[in-house]
Amino acid sequence: MSRSGYTDDYCDDQWAMIRWRGAVMSALRGRRGQAFLREMLAALDALEQKRLIRDDLVREGEVCAIGAVGVARGIDMAEIDPEDRETVAATFGVPVALASEIMYLNDEWHRREDEETRYQRMRNWILSEIRG
């Protein structure tokens, strides 16, 4: 299993998949989700090096998309288990569905891309999800 928690088991239960995708969409459209996306966009834009790692929040000074928000907020992420999506979601004040979706897109959507391409893809995705 990945840090996003996504597994092939969702494919076996169509109603579970429908409910989960509904939770993700609700989290993305909601006030907290929209605020977090805007904050993440600003955090990505503030990165000195336009690169995103995968599988960790922070590693050797580099970050994933959620980790960029942590750096911007001044959060010490050294003790946060990046695979504990409930703790990650609680730390950043977002629904688990939103944290999981961001982790999935950051880590697994295009697994073989380089860090610069991942940065640009995630930034474009954020822009496509921000309303108004």
Q: What is the pLDDT of residues 19-44, one digit of tens each?
A: 888 999 999 999 999 999 999 999 99
Alpha-helical segments (H) within 3-130: 9-12, 14-29, 31-46, 65-73, 85-92, 96-107, 115-129
Instruction: Look at residues 90, 110, 108 and name the one whose alpha carbon lies nearest to residue 99.
Output: 90
pTM listed for this prediction: 0.88
pLDDT digits (tens, 9 = 90+) for 34-70: 999 999 999 999 999 999 999 999 999 999 999 999 9
Beta carbons of 107 and 122 less than 8 angstroms apart: no
Residue 89 clears pLDDT 70, i.e. is over it:
yes
Residue 5 clears pLDDT 60, i.e. is over it:
no
Overall average pLDDT of the 1-15 stretch: 59
Overall average pLDDT of the 92-116 stretch: 93
3-state DSSP call for residue 63? strand
Residues in the chain: 132
Return the minimum-mean-pLDDT range out of 4-13, 44-53, 79-88, 115-124.
Answer: 4-13
Rounded to the nearest 10 degrees, what angle do helices 96-107 and 31-46 cross at? 40
Burial of 122 (0-12, 13-18, 19+ CB in 10 A): buried
Considering the chain, what percentage of its residues have pLDDT values greater than 70?
Answer: 92
